[in-house]
A and B are shown apart, each in its own frame.
Chain A
Amino acid sequence: MAKVILTGSICQHVGGLGAVAVSGSTAREVITTLEASYPGLRGWVVDEQGALRRHVKLFRGGEAVSLDAQLAPGDELHIVAAISGG
């Protein structure tokens, strides 16, 4: 299982949890599984066509990755919303 780390307002859609253990071998599979467990998350991280929201980033460890990134058991997948400022 991978460990999904969520921050900010999307935690409300996974019962307020900041970290959830989820099965799946890719980031896409992990997010799909997470959405199945927490339907309120649908449409927030990826849109209805399965594309990652433009202002959401995924990190495996310290590396920015795509939805197709492979995840090994124990990997941490961070779902991070972009911040803005200047």
Chain B
Amino acid sequence: MTELLVGTKKGLVVLRGPRGGALEIATRSFPGEVVEYAIRDARSGRYFASVTHGQFGPHLYYADDPAGAWQQAEGPAFPSGAGAAVERIWVVEPGVADDELWCGVAPAALFHSKDGGKSWSLVQSLWDVPERAKWNPGAGGLCLHSICPWPGDPRRLAIGISAGGVWLTEDGGKSWRRSVGGLVPRYLPEEARADTHMHCVHNMKRAPREPSTIYLQFHGGVYRSDDAGESWTDIGSGRGLPSDFGFPLAIDPHDPNRAFVIPLAADADRVTPDGKVRVYETRDRGSSWQALDKGLPQSQAYLTVLRQAFCNDAGKPLGLYFGAQSGEVFGSVDSGKTWSTLATHLPPVTSVRAA
């Protein structure tokens, strides 16, 4: 059985069906509302949906059954005196400790839940880092969108901020340090790169089987860290990718040498390059990339795939799924060798996660 949580500009769509077979819309929640992100915490079975109500701001909901009643969580919300209000809830990530979850929002901040996502509190230590004053919003706003727990160790976390770089903690979020060594912000004048804090991380994923390995899609470049985010190596230049720009990133949870990206043409042209929809795979830690396109549109197809709209499941062979702003959802259950169209005519897709 496959269950996909598809956030769209007009509600949450839950697709269900046999793995590798046709999926159908099992339920649609929050009709008419922008669902930025939805995920199921596999530990508890609880579903989460981040909804931005047009007039009434962002709110986080949880439910045990997406077709049933959704409860509004307490937060995430900044404490009084923080001088900020949550503008958008970008990501919810199950943690390692029991009932622990993390949440990233705009303006860039991290929230923590110790009760299974029912209530949230600001990680004040990250909010208070002096460098925050030097962060700069990208086109999507100043957002914390990537949260990478360390399997088995709740003290270690890596987060990605656009545009505020990579930050690491080894004490469960009590203290933080920036780690951008090796990331080259080619979008800045050369003389401005050394001192900048405007490292525009687009996506970041940790390999669970080898947690010291992290892949990162940058605003211009794909990078890998072999030392848990301490330093970064360019794996995107001259190795077979049609573009160094993009947002979507997925990994093989069973193989730390394997990652997947969906390049977009350029920052000024955020569509699939050359009118072809292609996922690119590396099996050798980024030494080379190969196109995976069998079953995907290969002519006159200019799709936009957003940051959170690409995911992997935990299956063997691996399942990969992504959605487009033009309302299609594509999937593969053979690690990307072949693809099928799982849904069409949906509202613009903001996020896709396998439940």
Q: How far does the alpha carbon of A48 sit from the alpha carbon of B80 in the complex, in Å?
A: 7
Known: A40-B72, A43-B77. A55 touches B85 (CB 8 A): no
Docked pose: A40 CA to B56 CA in angstroms:
12
Report the minimal beta-carbon distance from A39 to chain B, rounded to whole angstroms. 9
Contact A49 B80 (CB under 8 A): yes
B188 contacts the other chain (CB 8 A): no
> Which A31-49 residues sit within 8 Å CB-CB of chain B?
40, 43-45, 47-49
Known: A40-B72, A43-B77. A49 touches B55 (CB 8 A): no
Known: A40-B72, A43-B77, A48-B78. A82 touches B85 (CB 8 A): no
* Chain B residues closer than 8 Å to A44, beta-carbon distance: 53, 56-57, 59
Would you give the 0/1 interface string for A49-86, flagging 1 where the beta carbon is closer than 8 Å to chain B? 11101011000000000000000000000000110100
Q: How far is the CB of B77 from chain A (nearest CB, A)?
A: 4
For residue A51, which residues in chain B have a CB less than 8 angstroms away from its CB? 85
A81 pairs with B85, CB closer than 8 A:
no
Report how many residues on chain B are interfacial, defined by Cβ distance under 8 Å: 16
CA of A57 to CA of B59, assembled, Å? 20
A47 to B52, CA, bound (A): 13
B72 partner residues in chain A, CB cutoff 8 A: 40
- CB-based contact B85/A48 at 8 Å: yes
A48 to B87, CA, bound (A): 11
Q: Is the CB of B57 within 8 A of A53?
A: yes
Which residues in A have their C-beta under 8 angstroms from that of B77? Answer: 43, 47-48
B56 in contact with A53 (CB, 8 Å) = yes
Give every chain A residue within 8 A of B53 (Cβ-Cβ): 9, 44
B83: A residues at CB distance < 8 A: 49
Q: Once the chains are docked, how many angstroms separate the CA of A55 from the CA of B79?
A: 22
**List of 4 A-B pairs having minimum Cβ-Cβ separation, nearest first:** A47-B85, A48-B77, A55-B55, A81-B55
Task: Report which B residues bind A (CB closer than 8 A).
Answer: 53-57, 59, 72, 77-80, 82-86
Interface residues of A, Cβ cutoff 8 Å to B: 9-10, 40, 43-45, 47-51, 53, 55-56, 81-82, 84
Using A47-B86, A48-B80, A55-B56 as known contacts, list a sample of 4 further A-B pairs with CB atoms less than 8 Å apart, ordered by residue number in A. A47-B57, A48-B85, A55-B54, A81-B54
